[in-house]
Structure formats: C-alpha cells, structure tokens
Amino acid sequence: MKGSPTPRTGGALIWEPCEDGSGILMLVRLTFLTIQVASAGAVILPLLIHAWLNRGWNRLPLPVPDACSDADLPRLCVVIPTWNEANVIETKLTNLLDQRYPSTKVRHVLIDSASTDGTVERARAWAVENDTELEIIQMPARLGKSAAVNRAMDELHPEDEVFVITDAEATIEPGALRRIGRWMKDETVGAVCGTLVEEENGGAYRGWFRWFREGESKADSTPIFEGSIAAYRASALRPIDDRANADDSQLALLVREGGLRALSDGAIRFREQPITIHREKRERAVRRGQGLSRHFWRNRIRWFRGGRWGTILGLNGIQHTITPWLVLLGILAGVAHATTVVLLGWTGGEPMLLDRLMLLVDAIVLASLGIGVAGWRVPLCATILAFLENNVYLVRGMLILRLGTSLHKWTPSMSNRRI
C-alpha cells in the first residue's frame, strides 16, 4: 500500500491521502511494537535476575538438620484444618499415625469449621477405633482456612514447641514429622515446609518452582510456602489476616521477619491426588494466586530492603503483582502488532529487525498455545504455556479482588478427593 511518488507541486498535495495514512499506520504499528518489547523486557528482566541469582544460591549448601534421639525431639501440635473432608479424613488420620512420632511428644488436633458431611463424626469414630487421642475443635461457622489456623494457634499449650499444619487431602511420606522435629532443634530455623512429590505430569513449571524454592531456602528463606505440610516454631507465631488466604506464606513471612529462617525442604515429602477437572484446577490457581498477590503487595514496603531476604521478597513480589499485568499488556500489544502487519502489511516502509523479532515471539507463543491445546508434549512450549496461564490466573485473582471478592472461603475441589 505504499503511496506512489507524488509530484509535490502544491502545498495541498503534500497531504496526499495514501502517504498520510501509511505514516500514521506505521506509527501505530511502532507503538504496539514498543509496548510489546517494553513489557516483554520488564517481564523477563526480573525473572532472569532471579534465575541468575538463584543459580548461585543453589550452589550453597542447605543446612542439614542434626540427628536427634526420640527423647530430644520437640513437642509438636499437629493441626488438621477441615471443612467437609469426610471422604479423606480417615486416610489422613491413619497417615499421621503411621508417622510414628513418639506419642508423648505429639498432639493431634482437628479443627473443623462447621462441616456438614459428617467429617467430625468420622474422625471421632476413627479415634475410638484406633485408640488414639484426637482433640477436636469445632468452629461454629466456616470462616476459611486462615481463620481456622488462627483459632488453632489459641489451642497451643505452653509446652508445645512446634505448630504443624497439614491439609486433609495431602498424604505425607514416612519420616516427615521426624524431619520437622529435627529441623526445629536448630535455633535459627523458625519454619519449614514440605515438597510435593511430582506425579509424572507435574511438568517443567513445577520443576522451576521447586528449583527457586530450594535456592531461596539455601540463600536465606523462601517466602512461598506449601501449606499441605508446614511447621512453625510456636514462639515465633502471631495471628495472620483471616480475611486473606495464603495462610502458609503469611506465617512464613511473619517467622522470617521475626529473624528466623523459613525453609522449604525436599526431604519432607507429601503426595496429593492430581486435580483432573480443568475448572477446579483453574479455580484453585486463581484462589492461590489471589492469596499470594495480595500477600506480596501488602508487604511491598519490605521488598528489596537489603540483604538476600529483601531481594528474594522483592523479586517474588514483582512476579506476583506487577509481572502478570505486564504479561497481559504484552500479549495484547503483540496481538495488535501482529494484526496490523497481517491486515495492512508493512505500511510505511520495510520492517525493522525488532518487528521481525517480535513476530517470531508471537509465532512461538501461538505455536505453544496450539501445541498445548492439541495436548502434545513439547517441553519448552509447555513451560511457556504454563507461565502465561499462571500469569493470566494471577491477573484474574487480582481483578476479582478489586471487584470486591476475596476468595478466602472456598469449596474444595472434589476430583482430588475421591475415595
């Protein structure tokens, strides 16, 4: 659509429509291109810095907890928060009993928030059958997991040294509680959480997640905790915001701000049945994402406040609050850029190298999307897709919160709780 050379005989002809139009179109295209490049850069830069630092951190040794005799193990208060967990509660209690933590050193507390499916009755019957002591606290209403965690903290006895929280549908592997006990003999450690054992389709994204948590734990502490099995030094606890979720990460941050380390340990392992329904997967990702975004944003004053911990908090903070919007902006600008090129061609001149580069990026993203939808397994594409998906979920979570809905009370996914 390039305008033919126009004889410029008079002033009016300089504004020949064709040339004028292509100039504006080029400007539009370059604007989209600039936005796309800028957002891609702003997304990738913190991620690269994080990955580069983390590579170094991962070379540091993770302190190993000392061996410990039964007599020296600390006293645990193991809390299982439940809301309508009748399907899995017995399996869970048996799983805890199988841990064989010295029985004089552990209390089991079930904190139930007005379940309507007989969870409490089943738990009670299980305790009788297994001749095991199980304390049951019944909250009169369901207020969400964070509220239940706060309530459970009130139940700590002065002699309880460690507060352990473990989710009803998570199965912890042998030795997990003992390992927690050993960690807590180290006075510098205030919190420790487990690691999900990968089912085969855990994917590359989960691998990255683990790699970052591990590096952060070696460097200092990780701010992203796995609540499926997490333990906190009782003396370091303070109540959390019960109107927000991410109870696990809230507690980890409190502990770290109190001067103790918060670690993710690959040797404390738990399993969960995978969620098989896409809608449930999405809902959980949006809810968890909202919890983390809100948590990091509230603590933005602490980002980059000196030391490795400040850096870790800041980098993760950016990735959970700002990056998702930039990803969205980048996608929109990319679509707009590609559209102008496809519809209008290279109006206003030859494409720049950057134009071509960004079109290549568009093509890769599109291909990943296609490959993902088709269900093929191409490693890099799967990672790109999971990254984009995760960021879209984070945006959704933040949007939903802006629109006034906090997801701190939720209906559990069922596809991972079948008997």
Question: What is the contact surface with ligand GDP in residues (CB under 6 A)?
Answer: 81-83, 85, 111-113, 142-145, 148, 167-169, 284, 288, 409, 412-413
Q: Using the minimum distance from each CB to Mn ion, give the nearer residue, 167 or 216.
A: 167
Tell me how far, at minimum, the Cβ of 226 lies from Mn ion, in Å.
10
Smallest gap from Cβ 169 to Mn ion, in A, equals 5
Of these partners, ligand GDP, Mn ion, none, which one is at the site of residue 214 (CB under 5 to 8 Å by kind)?
none
Q: Are 394 and 289 in contact (CB under 8 A)?
A: yes
Which residue lies nearer to ligand GDP by CB, 178 or 288? 288
Q: Tokens representing 6?
A: 């126009």
Residue 373 DSSP one-character state:
H
Nearer to Mn ion, 161 or 248 (CB): 248
Secondary structure letter of residue 11 according to DSSP: G
Mention every residue, 6+ apart, whose C-beta is less than 8 A from residue 254. 236, 237, 238, 240
Position of minimal CB gap to Mn ion: 167
**Least distance in Å: CB of 383 to ligand GDP?**
22
355 makes contact, choosing from Mn ion, ligand GDP, none, with CB < 5 to 8 Å by partner type, with none
In the complex, minimum distance from the CB of residue 55 to Mn ion, in angstroms, rounded to a whole number:
31
* CA 86 – CA 115 distance, rounded (Å): 9
CB atoms within 10 A of CB 159: 11
Nearer to ligand GDP, 31 or 415 (CB): 415
Q: Which residues contact 317 (CB under 8 A, 6 or more apart)?
A: 296, 297, 299, 300, 303
Residue closer to ligand GDP by CB (options 90, 112) is: 112
CB of 413 to Mn ion, least distance (A): 8
Q: What are the start-end ranges of the E strands in 133-260?
A: 135-139, 162-166, 171-172, 189-196, 229-233
Which one of ligand GDP, Mn ion, none interacts with residue 112, CB within 5 to 8 A by kind? Answer: ligand GDP
Alpha-carbon distance of 83 to 104, in angstroms, equals 28
Residues near Mn ion, by CB under 5 A = 167
Nearer to ligand GDP by Cβ, of 308 and 409: the residue is 409
Token couple for 403: 């629109």
- The answer to whether 248 and 193 are in contact (CB under 8 A) is yes
**Nearest approach, Cβ of 227 to ligand GDP (angstroms)?**
7
